[in-house]
Chains A and B, each alone.
Chain A
Amino acid sequence: MHEIFLNAEPLFFIGTYPFTNTLFASVLAVGIIALGSYVLRRMYAEVPGAAQGIVEFAYEEFVGLMDSVLDSRKKSEHYLPFVVTIFVFILVSNWLGILPGVGSLGLVEETGHGHSFTPLLRSPASDLNFTLALAILTVVAINVFGIMSIGAWKYASKFLDFSGPIHFFVGILEFISEIAKMISFAFRLFGNVFAGEVLLVVIAFLVPFGAPVPFFILELFVGFIQAFVFSMLALVFIAIATTQHASEHE
């Protein structure tokens, strides 16, 4: 069984910059999404084909779902690119990690203790750099959306409220909750995907033929669910951040 590391393995270095296998997979995911989008763009027609029909259906469903949370079609269409991009990027990254060859194709290097194997590709979300980057970006974006929606001063009053000691304390809690959001976003996705990778490696090691298949299906499902959970949480936090609460009017 090949060794499992928490951190992503560097494939090569550009100066001191480590180009890791998760970053490579992430770049590949970007490439796949870009190529797919470009091909889809060329296929757009008045009468939609199967692919366009699926995309239109997914778009309508997402807008409908966002309408039910944001309660406004205008807001839904405004925030849809961000939320859906999170979903698509995480989904493609997660499913990319289950493809045959990912984790099994790699570089073999001679070391003092023998051979070391470095997989060429690894699921991006099994690297905390990927999930933390998305988490930080999402929380920052949520706050930016909040400021753009209700104004900087009103939004800042959520964190800095000197009207009383309780409000001040609540403000501090709000600030801590933003950091907690980042951590929960990052570790939820990382934990699920990393655990899935470990599970697949262990099962493939114990029973190489047949037994991993149900776990691959499970990982497909987990990959989808995690992408959906991340994007839906982002949506809910956007909805909270962009809504003026009654107490703030008083």
Chain B
Amino acid sequence: MEAFIKQFGIDWRLLASQVVNFLLVLVVLRVFVYKPISVLLRERKERVEQGIAKAKEADLRLQNVKEMVRDRLREAEAEAMSLLGDAEVKAKEREGVLLESSRRKGEVLMQEARRTIDTEQEKLRAEFEREARTLVRTAVARVVEMDPERVDDSLIEKALTGVMKHA
């Protein structure tokens, strides 16, 4: 054993020195590397998790807002449809009223027109009568002035043509 120890140069003081070196490295790495890195990674992980949570929350909010918008749109659409229906009903009512009013006005106008026509007819008839009387009077006067034997058919014909023209 002694030969082995001598051959390999094993010395407990060197062993202890190497152990101290290792412990120094352990302490240094612990202080400067492991702890800061683990803290950094943990904080980053937490931040990422928070970010994901916030993103999920935002997603949820967005969905809610979309749902709300959809509801509002549906409500607005329903309201618009209802307003449109009302407007149609009102328009129909108004149309009926207007039609009725127009019809009445038309009737009034027709009556007035008829009255005017009747008046005009009356006037024409009266004038025609007056003309006819004048004609007849003229014809009678001429007949009276003429000799019956001289009244021939051509004169009668003339008289009648004159009557027809005045009519």
Write the residues of chain A forming the contact surface with B, with a CB cutoff of 8 angstroms: 5-8, 17-18, 20, 23, 26-27, 29-30, 33-34, 37-38, 40-41, 44, 55-56, 59-60, 77, 80-82, 84-86, 88-89, 124, 127-130, 132-134, 136-137
Contact = CB atoms under 8 A, between A and B. Distances in A.
Given A23-B17, A40-B33, A128 B9 contact: yes
B40 interface: yes
A158 B11 CA distance: 31
Interface residues of B, number: 29
B29 A85 contact: yes
Nearest to A131: B18
B41 to A, nearest CB: 7
Nearest to B35: A81
A179 B121 CA distance: 148
A128 B33 contact: no
A40 B36 CA distance: 10
Nearest to B39: A44
Interface string B13-24: 111111101101
Contacts of A88: 25, 29
B82 to A, nearest CB: 58
Contact of B13 (A17, A37, A40, A80): A17
A30 B17 CA distance: 12
B128 interface: no
A34 B23 CA distance: 12
B22 A134 contact: yes
A133 B11 CA distance: 10
B30 interface: yes
B25 A89 contact: yes
A137 B22 contact: yes
Give the interface SS of chain B, mostly helix, strand, loop or mixed: helix
Nearest to A16: B13
Contacts of A130: 18
Contact of B10 (A41, A129, A137): A129
A86 B31 CA distance: 16
Given A23-B17, A37-B28, A137-B22, A81 B40 contact: no
A20 B14 contact: yes
B8 A133 contact: no
Contact of B41 (A6, A30, A56): A56
A40 B11 contact: no
A129 B33 contact: no
A63 to B, nearest CB: 9
Contacts of A17: 13
B154 interface: no
17 contacts: A6-B9, A18-B11, A20-B14, A23-B18, A26-B18, A29-B21, A30-B24, A33-B25, A38-B32, A41-B33, A44-B40, A56-B41, A59-B33, A59-B38, A85-B22, A88-B29, A132-B15
B155 interface: no
A43 to B, nearest CB: 11
Contact of A133 (B18, B25, B30, B40): B18
B19 A137 contact: yes
Contacts of B13: 17-18
B167 interface: no
Contact of B32 (A23, A26, A41, A77): A41
